[in-house]
Structure 1
Amino acid sequence: MTEDTRAAGLDLDDDADFERRDRQLTRVGWILLTAFVLAAFVGLLGPGPLSARTPTSADGALGVEYHAIGHIEADDSMSLLLDASTVEGDTPSPSR
C-alpha cells in the first residue's frame, strides 16, 4: 500500500465539488423553508394580514369583508358592510 494523506487509516475520499454542491443545496433548502414559514405567518397561506380583503362599491355604501384564502376544513366568514344612510325603514337584522 502506498503512502497517502488518509485520515488515521480510514479510507476517506475528499470530494470538494460534492461538498460545495451539498452546502449550496442545503442553503437553498433553508431559504425556501424560511420563505414558506414567513409566507404562512403573514397570511399568504391562510387568514392573516395579507389575505384580508374589503372591496367596496364606488360610492362606499356597500362593502364586503372576507379572507381571500381559505382551507377545505376551516370555517370561513364574510361580512357585509352597509352605510347607515343607505338603509331605509327598519334596520335589517342578521339572519342565519
Structure 2
Amino acid sequence: MQLMLYNSVLIQGWNFIVLILTSVGLICMFVVLEIRKTAIMVQLLIAFMEIHGVSDLCFIMYFITPYRRYIKEKIFCRKKPNQVIPKQLTTTMPATVIVKPR
C-alpha cells in the first residue's frame, strides 16, 4: 500500500509541475516580457491548468489498486470470483378454498 501511495503522490507532483507551474510560468513570462497578441496562448495555458483536476483524479484511480479494481468491476459489470451469493428461501402456502355457509 505504501508503494502505491508513493507512486500516486509522485505522479501527482509531476502532473502539478507540468500542467500548473509551467502554465503559470509561461503566463508570467508573457506579462513580464510584454509580448503582444498572446490572448489565445494564455487561454490555452489556462485550459491546461483546468485539465489538472481531471487528470489528477484519473491518476489516483489508476495508481491506487483497490480503486482501479472497483472501477473495472463497475465498468465491466463483473462480480468478484469468490463472491458467494446466498440463496433466498421462498415460502409457499397451499391454496385454501374458503366455502361460505348457506
Q: What is the TM-score of this pair, normalised by structure 1?
A: 0.35
Compare the two structures and name the one with the higher helix fraction. Answer: 2
